[in-house]
Amino acid sequence: MKKSLFLYLQACCPALLFFLCVLLIPGKDYAQEKTVTGIVKDSSGNPLPGVRVTVKNAKGGTITSAEGKFSIVVPDSKGVLVFNMMGSATQELFTDGSGPLSVTLRSEAVGLQDVVVVGYGVQRRSDLTGAVTSLKAADITKISGSNAAEALQGKAPGVQILNVGQPGNAPVVRIRGIGTNGDPNPLYVVDGMFVNDIQYLNSHDIASMEILKDASATAIYGSRGANGVILVTTKKGKNGKPVFNFSGSEGFQFLTRRYKVADASQYATLQNMITGTSTYPDPASLGKGTNWLDESTQKGWVRDYQLSIAGGSENVSYNISGGYFKQQGVMKFTDYDRFTLRANNEYRLSKRLKIGHNLSMSNSNITGVGSSAGARVFNALVRVSPLIKVYDDNGNFNPGQDPDIINPYAALYYGKDANNNSLRFVGNGWLNYEIIPGLAFRSSYGIDYAYDRYHYFEPAYTISSPNQIHANNSLTENHVNNKTWLWENTLSYDKQIGNDHHLNLLAGITAQDGYYNKLEGVGQNLAFDYPDYQYLGAAPAGGVSVTSQAYSESMLSYLFRANYSFKDKYLFTGTFRADGSSKFGPNNRYGYFPSVAVGWRVSEEDFMRKLSWVDNLKLRASWGQVGNNKINNYIAYSSVIQDPVYNALFNGVYYSNGTVVSTANPNIKWERTEQTDLGIEFATLKKRLSIEFDYFNRVTKDLLLIIPIPGGSTGITPTYSNIGSIRNRGFEFLVNWNDHIGDFSYGVTFSGSTYKNTVLNFGNQIITGSQWMSGSVHRGEKGQPIGYFYGYKVAGIFQSDAQIAEYNNKNDQGKPYQANAKPGDLIYADIDGDGYITGNDQTNIGSPHPKFIGGLTLTAAYKNFDFAIDIMGSFGAKIWNSARNQINSANTNLHVDWLNAWTPTNTNTDMPRLAANTSNSWGSSFNVQDGSYGKIRNVELGYHLSSELLNRIRISNLRLYINLTNPLYITKYKGFSPEVANVSPLEMGTDFSTYPVSGTARIGANLTF
Amino acid sequence: MSNLKYIFLAACLLSFNSCKKFLEKTPQGVVSDDQFFADEKNVDLAVNRIYGTLSWREYTIGRQFFSTHEMGGEDFIGSSNNGIGTTLNLFQSFTYDASQGFLQQYWDRTYANLNFCNQVTDRTAAMKNRELAEKSEAQAKFFRAYYHFELVNVFGQAPLRDHVPTSPEEYDIPKSNEEALYALIISDLEYAIAHLPTKSQWGTADNGRITKGTAQGLLAKVYLFRQDYAKAQQYANDVMTSGEYSLFNDYRLLFSPSNLYSSENMMPGGYEFTSTIWSGRWYNPYLQYQGVSGEFGDGVLYPAQALVDSYEAGDPRKEATILFKGETVEGWTSKDASTPKDGTVHFPSNTNIANKKVTWPKSYWNNGEYSFQDVNPMFLRYADVLLIYAEASNELGQAGNALPVLEQIRYRARGNKSYAAAGVLPEITTTDKVQLREKIWHERHIELALEGHRWFDLVRYEKVSPGYTVNLLKNVYQRTAFDYNRHSKFPIPLAMITSSQGILTQNDAWK
């Protein structure tokens, strides 16, 4: 036994260096079997789950629970307990059978922890057969944003995060590419509750986030796991006296990048060029003019406070916290605030029975950008004339110089009262009963209740017709209720059989039921603008329209998992879930999702012992099928649409209507994603260097797709069918280096990932998408990446009439090569080879998918100082820059690049001639730009105040820090921000109405007492 | 342990006994078509949807309408200062191709509307209330004929839809030829004539519905386009003798928002400004694209000088159709600093005229907005039927029948005066078939100017009198790219050809 423990130590997981400290408790002798209970914690008092506890020289054993607790039968009522955690030394402890015991394992390591949370349980990292990335609390709170998922950016290989600039909006999260044409966001599971997003969570409440990527890890989530799963575990109480934790920070947001738009004198120059006149005889005299960007943006204040109290005794533990977060946007009149409350408690009612709850409340407000002109704000910002002032001499808003171009400041101003209030309760209560040692029954009942209210009073105004006019004041009131309950019942059994076999089984039944309803009212012509009298009742009869809608859905699931390890060298995991869903057609009510995985800890083999430099080597492989059920309800049913928009007019009176506009699909079912993953984990140089590498091949079949009806002559809107197939394959790696030189310790983490997205089949159809008004065209088509940009390929610029004539000779039908071509126009490539340009010459002009995403984290600590910097980059993705080439009217301001437009005297340029409504405005590769970027994600410098000083004022820990988030981008992209976050794969990479991503500077303090 | 037993029991009960029920969710907030149409009177609501899309957005009153019905002719010109205007001009210069988006949208909406018709006709056979069934079916069949007739005129050949596809096998079908399309159009209209109430039978509350007379008028037009002049004359005559319709007494006021249901309007549109419905009942595209850029409306397209030049000297219809520079619009205050604020309209540099048929005093502008006027095109009006009668009669060698009817049109145009009294628009007296034909065509052009008839007529004239349209466009208006064989019908949208994978084929002239 001693030898095997020693070998354990040799083979421990690379990034984890736990040293055990042995606590010997003298005891008395008893001559019979006795159950000993206890808790295992790390040096900072956090409970450690997944620690193997065995009795020396005896069979059997157990593993500590998620709360770090264990219960073990000691045969002779006394003996030596052996605590072993992967990657750490073994610790032995004599027991006389009394308890409960408190064991502390001390850690000096930074980086990945030993134990990871997996679906419906925890596992030692060394036992994992799946691809799982973990992020701990310290990494999550470094990011200034409101949504904890932002912390994953550049940190978790295989995860692509695109930040959204608007305060209070969740980032776009994609795990291992895009395997769906629908919503590619992953499933979030917070303390066992399934939620669509984690915007309601306070980042400070999170203990860890686990990203489950391969099928072995996600298949336990069945029909909801195909986009990957992010498990969020919130902080629990610890045994001990109350610990108060206070953290607070204050800072501001700033615009990291600016769009280089022409100032007044440049604008005048451009206007003279575009109109071919001398409307502005002396452009230079006009100076800078109005800087609309400065007028419309601000340094937004950001503040974040949280107070938590955690503690516990033998039978009760608690963690209660309250937080307040406030963020003003970089755009004026936009902000977000959120209050959160949480109580995670646990009660031991008897030796075998524990109950507990995780209760959370949040109340948040998103304010601004609500005006009916809202979607045009960001476009107008870079097109409005700098010769126009925000206000006229009478203090009224000036219109933009063209009906299409609104006054962006005014639009923000009139949107200031748009308020999205979200009140949310997510909580569950659970019960855990240990039937016999190793066999536990757990039942958990949770509720997710969300009440969202949108309230927007928009006053009457007339700035310009038709796009910035609100003839009557209006009030919009939307009320949305969303209620879900989830009841999960699981049995788990953990058994060590002899020294060689370890078995862990899990089986469960879960049921979920959700109900959604929405009431929406719009009133016009309210009697007053008075803020306290903004109710629908204030609108005159006939001035109110009210609609409502509802849906309900339910799921019933059976799940099973087996983990088996032999000699800690050969690992096997098998999972299975059956999901029944009301969303699926009656013919396909149940989906079955299996996975298998194997692991081989090569470094544990005898023949590897000789290679002393190999500290860890593990190979793993997994295969499985997972589903995606993000489809609308009732697709299986043919239904009647009653849309008042199409009411019939008889004798001047509108009459309601109803008809069938779309097809139904009674066979509708989940998308099935089949994923194979091959992984290798390696550690060397005394585990200072660790490397993890994964290859994955993820193929989505039965993709839910609305494909156009071939021929398009039915007049019926097609509905979803399970027809498409998409493949994502690629690799990801994580390299970690940790060391210290005396008092100076440091770490380097380099992560990278890549995926290649290919549409294998879209029912032989081409799917087309575009963002409203943006002019971009995205396609999904066999053999191409989903959402690629479709348009004309630029082959140069016509330099002369002679060259145009030369091109006109390319066909023998006497057709002009390119209609109305003039010198200075872009030359489009003749893709179909017929000698002239038609719609057929459009082709793939770029992919919005990155080729490589990487992150680099450097950490260093010296005495009381700590420092961390995160750098990340995204390479190879293309962006459709809508605004730069939007010249459908001469009345537009432009990017300064246009100062270098082609003219007969300025021919050595890549900018075409400047004129409105020419072929240069067509959707072409001229609009597609390289969106590669490198950025500083985060920099933080912290200082721990010396403890002697603090002890005097009874503070156990005080750390002060300064932090910069997103302070710098390095990119050639000529828009606001190369992070363009559109959820739909068929809008991916279109930069049209993107709220610019901002930087944040903060100072803060963490205080423990 | 006993507690545990109950928990297990509960779990098992939940999982096995009630699981089937648990997963069956009756749709909330939506109604299945079976439930909906089980109540027979709801078929009315499905008929209403057909009417509700008649004047909805771009299709019949916006850019798809202008591009397919007017731009090929000489009456409109797109504004080159405007993206949509520039695109519309592709249809004027005949430089559009099958990938043109307006054609795609036109195709989509036409077939969507055909689906609304078939949703009705597929259900009427099983209905017990035969009166309701026949009335509904007759209205649906009228519109089915109307949209198929549109397809024939726009694309020539197109897939024919006389029922909702019952299985995916019926989704992708080949084109039907003109004969097959016309056979359906004619039988549908015959059914409509047999079963539709007359205008007076419908009564005032149903103003806006199509009538037996509308169906007769449309069938007359269909036969005119088929050059079956005897039948065209017969059905036009049926309308004329029914006494249900008459020429409105004032040509200018005929187009007024106040006179949507005038005695002349046989197929009124259904746009009426509604402040709470922002989609389609808010900005009226028919007006939004017109007006005068910089003042009101977007000025995407304007009447062309060619139209102004086409009027006979002193024709009062010119003043009623064209808003000239220097004219006033009652109640209007110009936005231009140097323009008098007495209703005078400031014109941009690229036009001196605008469409007056859609421009009414500001008192008609809902919410003070030009584009919110309750103006609809008349999809069929009595004057059109009279001109069909006149043309058919002339082609049948019955100039004597044609002339008095033609004079009815001109008499009203003179302000209900004879030539002797008015001194303008001399009475047409020629009985020479060719001469009279051109007089009647001229009258159609002027009487129905800017109302969406010109292009289909020009295409038809070339068939009646070979060389007529080609000469007009190529020689008179110098539109050299025009090729009758190719441009008389629009290409089937490229995306449809591609997605069909060989079943739906492009028109020969566009291959």
Q: Are the C-beta atoms of B244 and B198 separated by less than 8 Å?
A: yes
Checking if the pLDDT of B469 tops 80, the result is: yes
Place of tokens 């000699």: A567
pLDDT in tens, A434-455: 999 889 999 999 999 999 999 9
Identify the burial level of A876 via C-beta atoms within 10 angstroms of its C-beta, where 0-12 means exposed, 13-18 middle and 19 or more buried: middle
- Measure in Å the smallest separation between the Cα of B511 and chain A Cα atoms: 12
- How many angstroms separate the CA atoms of A138 and A159, rounded? 19
How confident is the model at residue B19, as a pLDDT?
Answer: 57
- Residues in chain A with CB shorter than 8 Å from the CB of B171 are 709-711, 714
Number of domains into which chain A is organized: 1
| Helices assigned H by DSSP within A87-175 | 137-140
- How many angstroms separate the CA atoms of A677 and A212, rounded? 12
- How many angstroms separate the CA atoms of B282 and B379, rounded? 21
Residue of A nearest to B283 (CA): A466
Angle at the Cα of B467 (from B466 to B472), degrees rounded to 5?
Answer: 135
Say if B9 is an interface residue toward chain A (CB within 8 Å): no
How confident is the model at residue B408, as a pLDDT?
Answer: 97
Q: What percentage of chain A exceeds 70 in pLDDT?
A: 94
pLDDT bucket at A636, cuts 50 / 70 / 90: confident
- Residues in chain B with CB shorter than 8 Å from the CB of A650 are 51, 205-209
- Residues in chain B with CB shorter than 8 Å from the CB of A889 are 81-83
Say if B368 is an interface residue toward chain A (CB within 8 Å): yes
pLDDT bucket at A115, cuts 50 / 70 / 90: confident
How confident is the model at residue A787, as a pLDDT?
Answer: 94
Q: Are the C-beta atoms of A1005 and A956 separated by less than 8 Å?
A: no
Checking if the pLDDT of A110 tops 60, the result is: no
Q: Are the C-beta atoms of A589 and A636 separated by less than 8 Å?
A: no
Structural domain harbouring A58: 2-25+38-110
How confident is the model at residue A25, as a pLDDT?
Answer: 29
- How many angstroms separate the CA atoms of A601 and A682, rounded? 10
Identity of the highest mean pLDDT range in A52-61, A524-533, A614-623: A614-623
Q: Rounded to whole angstroms, what are the CA distances from A685 to A7, A137, A614?
A: 17, 27, 8
CATH number at residue A100: 2.60.40.1120
Whose CA is closest to A101, among A72, A59, A76, A121? A72
- How many angstroms separate the CA atoms of B314 and B326, rounded? 18
pLDDT in tens, A194-214: 998 899 999 999 999 999 999
Substitution target in A519, A633, A706, A714 with the highest count of B β-carbons within 10 Å is A714
Q: Which residues contact B188 (CB under 8 A, 6 or more apart)?
A: B141, B142, B144, B145, B148
Q: Are the C-beta atoms of B380 and B214 separated by less than 8 Å?
A: yes
**Structural domain includes residue A74:** yes
* pTM for this model (two decimals): 0.80
**Structural domain includes residue A662:** no
- How many angstroms separate the CA atoms of A476 and A521, rounded? 6
- How many angstroms separate the CA atoms of A163 and A982, rounded? 10
Checking if the pLDDT of B179 tops 50, the result is: yes
If DSSP states are collapsed to H, E and C, what string results for B57-125? CHHHHCHHHHHHHCCCCCCEEECCCCHHHHHHHHHHHCCCCCCCHHHHHHHHHHHHHHHHHHHHHHHHC
B39-64 mean pLDDT: 91
Tell which wins on pLDDT, A700 or A88: A700
CB contact under 8 A, B81 and A890: yes
Checking if the pLDDT of A48 tops 90, the result is: no
State both tokens at A508.
């469960």
DSSP A31: S
How confident is the model at residue A44, as a pLDDT?
Answer: 60
CB contact under 8 A, B22 and A552: no
pLDDT in tens, A201-259: 999 999 999 999 999 999 999 999 999 999 999 999 888 889 999 999 999 999 999 99
pLDDT bucket at A24, cuts 50 / 70 / 90: very low
How confident is the model at residue A143, as a pLDDT?
Answer: 82
**Structural domain includes residue A868:** no
HSE, side-chain direction, 13 A CA sphere, residue B240: 20
Q: Are the C-beta atoms of A454 and A386 separated by less than 8 Å?
A: no
Q: Quote the ipTM score.
A: 0.94
Residue of B nearest to A578 (CA): B15
φ and ψ at B304, to 5 degrees?
-95, 155
CB contact under 8 A, B173 and A766: no
Q: Are the C-beta atoms of A1007 and A247 separated by less than 8 Å?
A: yes
Say if B53 is an interface residue toward chain A (CB within 8 Å): yes
- How many angstroms separate the CA atoms of A355 and A430, rounded? 5
Checking if the pLDDT of B253 tops 90, the result is: yes
- How many angstroms separate the CA atoms of A482 and A993, rounded? 29
Tell which wins on pLDDT, B25 or A967: A967
Q: Which residues contact A359 (CB under 8 A, 6 or more apart)?
A: A342, A343, A344, A425, A427
Residue of B nearest to A555 (CA): B23
How confident is the model at residue A394, as a pLDDT?
Answer: 93
How confident is the model at residue A5, as a pLDDT?
Answer: 31
pLDDT in tens, A693-707: 999 999 999 988 887
Residue of B nearest to A766 (CA): B499
Checking if the pLDDT of A85 tops 70, the result is: no
Q: What percentage of chain B exceeds 90 in pLDDT?
A: 84
Q: What average pLDDT is seen over chain A?
A: 88
CB contact under 8 A, A649 and B208: yes
How confident is the model at residue B13, as a pLDDT?
Answer: 46
- How many angstroms separate the CA atoms of A986 and A778, rounded? 5
- Residues in chain B with CB shorter than 8 Å from the CB of A660 are 33, 115, 119, 164
CB contact under 8 A, A551 and B28: yes
How confident is the model at residue A28, as a pLDDT?
Answer: 36
A14-29 mean pLDDT: 28
How confident is the model at residue A2, as a pLDDT?
Answer: 37
How confident is the model at residue A329, as a pLDDT?
Answer: 92
Residue of A nearest to B503 (CA): A711
**Chain B (309-338) residues lying within 8 Å, Cβ to Cβ, of chain A:** none
For B153, the enclosing helix (H) or strand (E) is: helix B130-155
Q: What percentage of chain B exceeds 70 in pLDDT?
A: 96
Q: Which residues share a beta bridge with A195? A: A188
Instruction: Give one DSSP letter per residue of A474-496, joined into a string.
Output: EEEEEEEEEEEEEEEEEEEEEEE
- Residues in chain B with CB shorter than 8 Å from the CB of A659 are 45-46, 49, 116, 119
B267-278 mean pLDDT: 87
- How many angstroms separate the CA atoms of A915 and A912, rounded? 9
How confident is the model at residue B501, as a pLDDT?
Answer: 87
- How many angstroms separate the CA atoms of B465 and B460, rounded? 9
State both tokens at A392.
């006229």
pLDDT bucket at A736, cuts 50 / 70 / 90: very high
pLDDT in tens, B133-161: 999 999 999 999 999 999 999 999 999 99
pLDDT in tens, A840-892: 899 999 999 999 999 999 999 998 899 999 999 999 999 999 888 998 888 89
How confident is the model at residue B10, as a pLDDT?
Answer: 53
Checking if the pLDDT of B90 tops 90, the result is: yes
**Structural domain includes residue A590:** no
Q: Which residues contact B199 (CB under 8 A, 6 or more apart)?
A: B211, B212, B213, B244, B245
- Measure in Å the smallest separation between the Cα of B504 and chain A Cα atoms: 6
Identity of the highest mean pLDDT range in A182-191, A458-467, A522-531, B210-219: B210-219
CB contact under 8 A, B371 and A466: yes
Tell which wins on pLDDT, A609 or A278: A278
- How many angstroms separate the CA atoms of A668 and A524, rounded? 41
pLDDT in tens, B295-318: 999 899 999 999 999 999 999 999
Whose CA is closest to A83, among A99, A96, A72? A72
- How many angstroms separate the CA atoms of B486 and B441, rounded? 23
pLDDT bucket at A527, cuts 50 / 70 / 90: confident
* Per-residue b or e along A270-280, where b marks 16 or more CB atoms closer than 10 Å to that residue's CB: bbbbbeeeeeb
How confident is the model at residue A23, as a pLDDT?
Answer: 26
Give me the torsion for CA of A737, A140, A959, A104, rounded to 10°. Answer: -70
- Dihedral sign computed on CA atoms, order A275, A277, A283, A286: negative
Q: Are the C-beta atoms of A789 and A778 separated by less than 8 Å?
A: yes
State both tokens at B87.
């695109």
- How many angstroms separate the CA atoms of A1008 and A154, rounded? 30
- How many angstroms separate the CA atoms of A50 and A55, rounded? 16
Angle at the Cα of B116 (from B110 to B122), degrees rounded to 5?
Answer: 125
How confident is the model at residue A990, as a pLDDT?
Answer: 92
Q: Are the C-beta atoms of B135 and B95 separated by less than 8 Å?
A: no
DSSP A709: P
pLDDT bucket at A31, cuts 50 / 70 / 90: very low
- Residues in chain A with CB shorter than 8 Å from the CB of B205 are 650-651
Checking if the pLDDT of A784 tops 90, the result is: yes
**Structural domain includes residue A17:** yes
A916-920 mean pLDDT: 88
Q: Which residues share a beta bridge with A757? A: A728
How confident is the model at residue A3, as a pLDDT?
Answer: 36
pLDDT bucket at A181, cuts 50 / 70 / 90: confident
Checking if the pLDDT of B468 tops 90, the result is: yes
Checking if the pLDDT of A289 tops 90, the result is: yes
B358-375 mean pLDDT: 94
HSE, side-chain direction, 13 A CA sphere, residue B178: 12
- How many angstroms separate the CA atoms of B116 and B99, rounded? 26
A795-802 mean pLDDT: 95
pLDDT bucket at A763, cuts 50 / 70 / 90: confident
Say if B22 is an interface residue toward chain A (CB within 8 Å): yes
- How many angstroms separate the CA atoms of A723 and A740, rounded? 55
CB atoms within 10 A of CB B432: 11
How confident is the model at residue A29, as a pLDDT?
Answer: 38
The least confident of A9-18, A866-875, B479-488 is: A9-18
